[in-house]
Amino acid sequence: MNNYIIQGGKKLDGSITINPSKNSALAILVASLLNEKKTTIANLPKIEEVYRVIEVFESIGVKTKWKNNSSLEIIPPLKLNWQKINKKSAAKTRIIILFLAVFLHKFNDFDLPLSGGCKLGRRTIIPHIYALEKFGLKIKIFADKLNVKYNKLSSCEEIVMYESGDTATANVILAASLIPGKTVIKFASSNYQVQDLCYFLKDLGVKIEGIGSTVLKIWGKEKIAKNIEYYLTEDPIESMFFLSIAAVTNSSITIKGCPIDFLELELLKLEKMGFNFEILKRYKAKNNHANLVDIKTFPSKLVAPVEKIYGRPFPGLNIDNLPFFVPIATQAKGETLIHDWVYENRTIYYVELNRLGANIRLADPHRVFITGPSKLKATEIICPPALRPSAIILVAMLAAKGKSILRNVYAIERGYQDLVGRLKKLGVKIEKTTNNF
């Protein structure tokens, strides 16, 4: 496993361009299997979780080919072979649950390995099952797999999501896209990756109304067969990652290509905490859907927010962006309450920052109180088995004076492409190594 060696405590400068969204990439990768012709994802990030999905693709007969080092061509076979699915790769990505919606259009009786991904508590697949059963599926849960059977698929004009989950909503959208008739999804997620998926499917000819709202209407097709090239939307979570780096290192940097529609509330919260920034430029993304901005940050004196900070489904503060307020709060004067109501275990990982000199008190499995500002100090930490908690440890290490070692960084590399090289462009002294210390 790789490690990062970081010399922290220095101000940064320069500019960075935001990469395409990890979560959009994974959903659209799986959605490409609904298309009987060639799909080209023009700006696919080269990250570990994308590699795991490609490994699953190859195991079931899908052909993939990288072009120009950033575009991936995907050509499904005439018949997928679900029995040969790479279970080891499947177990490393939670997005494997979306293969359920692909396989149901190919087979009326199949097994799907249970998924892995971040370890953040009880993240059940029940919302997926409750919704997909409305199409006529019978789903049994076993210790290591799902078994899915049906006699006939039918569209459904009222599917109420048990919870407004991004991946669960995507699963229902994928299922509805190839079931002729009208399907209506209520309490759907309207988050960025769901919108990106809908725009991709619309380009393939699927009629979808209500994109960006919590009610989606989908008219399924009998067949999708169209050569297509699609550009992914830039990643709001990566944008927040670099915003948090600027805040904790008290640096002036320029962050280019931030999807502003999915960052407005985060920026407002930061502004009220005293974070200084300026929007330099506004423009459209290459897919002509997302609205992008370039943001310049400035050294700031941070203060704790008056109200607690908590995540919500879009248009609330993004649940994946919430953790980045933890290292930011360590540098803010006063006490910050962060309420992470979604996951039982994620706040436990937040207190790892105490090893860097933070003052974080765990109130219960969902809430932490952070008292700042704290003078962070270098140390050695093993990454927790979750992407965002690992990323915020890295953020804090950049502010901690001295040499820190972050071990077993696979969780971070699941979601960030060439992170070491990109951080170096901002002046970060960081090296990746597999050596033992």
Which pLDDT value is given to residue 120? 42
The SS3 of residue 377 is: strand
For residue 117, the model assigns a pLDDT of 47
What is the full DSSP assignment across 384-397? PSSHHHHHHHHHHH
Task: Please tell us whether the domain made up of 22-230 is placed in CATH 3.65.10.10.
Answer: yes
Tens digits of per-residue pLDDT, 155-181?
A: 999 999 999 999 999 999 999 999 999
In a 10 Å sphere around its CB, with 0-12 CB exposed, 13-18 middle and 19+ buried, how is residue 109 labelled? Answer: exposed
Per residue in 189-216, pLDDT (tens digit) is 999 999 999 999 999 999 999 999 999 9
Specify the pLDDT at position 70: 86
Whether 93 and 53 have beta carbons less than 8 Å apart is answered as yes
380-382 vs 402-407, strand pairing mode: parallel
For residue 45, the Cα-to-chain-centroid distance in whole angstroms is 12
Q: What's the CA gap between 12 and 357, in Å, rounded?
A: 21
Q: Where, residue-wise, is CATH 3.65.10.10 in the chain? A: 3-19+234-433, 22-230
Q: What is the pLDDT of residue 116?
A: 54
Residue 219 CA from chain centroid, whole number: 27
- The C-alpha atoms of residue 326 and residue 273 are separated, in whole angstroms, by 13
Report whether the peptide linkage leading into residue 315 is cis, meaning its omega lies within 30 degrees of zero.
yes
Which ranges of the chain have pLDDT less than 70? 116-123, 435-437
Cβ–Cβ < 8 Å for 218, 208: yes
Sequential DSSP letters for 107-163: -SEEEEEPP-----S---SHHHHHHHGGGT-EEEE-SSEEEEE-S-----S-EE-SS
What fold, for 3-19+234-433?
UDP-n-acetylglucosamine1-carboxyvinyl-transferase; Chain (3.65.10)
Q: How far apart are CA 356 and CA 67, in angstroms?
A: 42
